A = this chain, B = another copy of it.
């Protein structure tokens, strides 16, 4: 594992640059005189910056591609808000030498800590078959590894390594409070539903470097992938009551609340209704907060948020 020695947030205009960065975009362009140059966008966990390769662009273009981590040499030029790196030399970094959490945004809290906190909720579940089901999920090392790493979305909320886990834990903590508030709710079903509601997202995205949808993410989607994962785990258990399986499937299928947001069924049980609301609340609170944090400080308002279709007031 190569140690990352320079972070984008620390680069100062006028200084020499020599560090490793993830390539988010790369495309060739031409000056008005027709000479080619490379526009690239570099990223690490501390920020993003534009880069230019002015010389020998065609040759350098073959050395690396979008999604690679590169070791770049050059110099930072910056005026006011806009810093740019003029790159003079590039070397692709081997995958084996990369610690992705240095290049991609990561959840504030450590994944293992969050995972431990989530597992503690499983132990409090009283219905044995639900507890067994959850054990089957998280004793599956492949699932657990991906679950600790996946983002919760490609571009709306919890868009960072560990985001899915952070969102899931947040939802479960809220559900744990809500379940005491409303008598008559099946709290074990509610918590189990909360833990598994987005589990299909571990296969909906690719997040080995740049976050994107996987093929099955676009063709099947995390809701139905989650059902398939649930069916596989239930099938491997010795026994699991059919009516509980059906309610759990329904809860996952309906957690987006309405048809227009991709749920093939709308909530028809109390538990499905509650998981839908808490999931939506947590996603949108995170989206508000992240958007506020990312916006400039010199206005009471964020820029226009494309998905919320509004400006958000920072006060």
Contact = CB atoms under 8 A, between A and B. Distances in A.
A164 interface: no
Interface in A167-197: 170, 173-174, 177-178, 181-182, 184
A219 interface: yes
B263 A260 contact: no
A236 to B, nearest CB: 11
Contact of A273 (B232, B260, B284): B284
Interface residues of A, number: 70
Interface in A279-294: 280-281, 284-285, 288-289, 292
A140 to B, nearest CB: 16
B34 A264 contact: no
A134 to B, nearest CB: 20
Given A77-B34, A289-B184, A300-B215, A253 B220 contact: yes
Interface stretch (A41-49, A98-106, A121-129, A305-313): A305-313
Nearest to A180: B177
Contacts of A263: 264
Given A82-B28, A246-B216, A281 B277 contact: yes
This chain: how many copies in the complex? Answer: 6
Contacts of A270: 285, 288-289, 292
B219 A246 contact: yes
Contact of A315 (B77, B182, B247, B301): B247
Given A170-B181, A264-B221, A313-B269, A281 B285 contact: no
Contact of A262 (B221, B264, B292): B264
A31 B182 CA distance: 45
Q: Which of A174, A270, A274 has the most CB atoms of chain B within a 10 A radius of its CB? A: A270
A311 B267 CA distance: 10
Interface string A253-278: 10000011111111011100110011
Nearest to A256: B264
Given A277-B281, A315-B247, A30 B259 contact: no
Contacts of A2: none
A227 B228 CA distance: 8
* Top 8 closest pairs, chain A to chain B, by CB: A219-B250, A277-B281, A177-B177, A264-B264, A36-B79, A268-B313, A262-B264, A269-B313
Interface of A: 28, 30-32, 34, 36, 58, 61, 77, 79-82, 84, 86, 170, 173-174, 177-178, 181-182, 184, 215-216, 218-221, 223-224, 227-228, 231-232, 243, 246-247, 249-250, 253, 259-266, 268-270, 273-274, 277-278, 280-281, 284-285, 288-289, 292, 300-301, 310-313, 315
